[in-house]
Amino acid sequence: MGGALLEGWLSVGLNAPSAAILDPKPAPDIEALCGRRGIALNPPVAHLRPPEAVVLAIKPQSLDEAAPMVDRLIGPDTLLVSILAGKKVRDLRRRVPQARAVVRAMPNLPASIGRGATGAFANPETSESQKAIAHALLASVGIVEWLGSEALLDAVTAVSGSGPAYVFLLTECLARAGEDAGLPADLAARLARATVIGAAELLGQSDLPPEQLRRNVTSPGGTTAAALDVLMGADGLELLMRAAVSAAKRRGEELSG
């Protein structure tokens, strides 16, 4: 995700030499990107001035290990932007005591193609100008929705943060169902993939809500209606999705601390 954000910032005009990446085990694509664009990779922390913003894009379980180095980077006016699932402002400030202004954000994987959906929360110490900096960074890879309560971030994580995986699974399941219905596996996979892509693009281009689009494609008593009778049944898709989002939200809460 950090790499996706970096690509987005570069695409909207980030001055590459003004950025630095600190990663003890950088992926080959990050090494190549830094070399190609002149971005400093793992410069000595002691040589870095306190930056305008530090974006923390690591696994939540790595926070304790990374925090001392991050704390050394923070100056009085540095904004800390965290995309760590579950780690609340209080958790971040406990590990990074120099941090005052903190923005928690949850982008998702489509940020890698500039189509991300991000929920964000700014603590009271974050100034309007710092919030604008965070917005510019996050909006470079998609839409940004600002939240009035930090408590909503676990739900955002469960819906949009994890949501792309749900769509990918739906595509897998649709393809396997096509196989069961008699289609060759490769044909079922191509049809399922194209159908999900096309439906998503239609949803993106239409002003109609998804409920109306669903009704538009459903003829009374037809084949789609027969399928939706199953998917919308008492034990159908909505119940499964509610349970899935609830499980993801609960896990996000467990990651706190």
| Whole-number pLDDT of residue 229 | 96
DSSP secondary structure of 90-134: HHHHHHSTT--EEEEEE--GGGGGT-EEEEEEE-TT--HHHHHHH
Residue 209 pLDDT:
97
At 85, list the tokens.
């699932």
Cβ proximity of 202 and 213 under 8 Å: yes
pLDDT over threshold 90, residue 219: yes
Tokens of 44: 């000595």
pLDDT at 257 over 70: no
Closest CA to 1 of 190, 141, 165: 141
pLDDT for 6: 83
| pLDDT score for 18 | 87
The distance in angstroms from the start CA to the end CA of the chain is: 22
d(CA 81, CA 221): 52
pTM of the model: 0.87
Sorting pLDDT into bands at 50, 70 and 90, what band is 24?
Answer: confident
Chain segment 128-137, per-residue pLDDT in tens: 999 999 999 9
Domains 2-150 and 163-254 share a fold: no
Give residue 100's pLDDT.
96
Alpha helices by DSSP H, the chain: 2-11, 28-37, 63-73, 89-95, 128-139, 153-156, 163-180, 185-205, 210-216, 223-231, 237-254
What does the angle CA 95 – CA 98 – CA 103 come to, to the nearest 5 degrees? Answer: 75
Q: For the chain, how many residues are written?
A: 257
Mean pLDDT of all residues belonging to the chain: 93
pLDDT of res. 30: 87
Compare 103 and 23 and report the one with higher pLDDT: 103
Q: Where are the domains of the chain?
A: 2-150, 163-254
Query: Is 41 in contact with 51 (CB distance < 8 Å)?
Result: no
Provide mean pLDDT across the span 236-255.
Answer: 94
Among 50, 131, 133, which residue's Cα sits nearest to residue 98? 50
pLDDT at 155: 95
Mean pLDDT to the nearest integer, 154-178: 96
Q: Report the C-alpha gap between 192 and 174 in whole angstroms.
A: 6
Residue 195 pLDDT exceeds 90: yes
Torsion of CA 155, 157, 163, 164, to 10 degrees: 170
Taking domain 2-150, whether its CATH number is 3.40.50.720 is answered by: yes
Q: For the domain 163-254, what is the CATH superfamily, name and number?
A: ProC C-terminal domain-like (1.10.3730.10)
Of the chain, the percentage scoring pLDDT greater than 70 comes to 100
pLDDT tens digit string along 6-15? 888 888 788 8
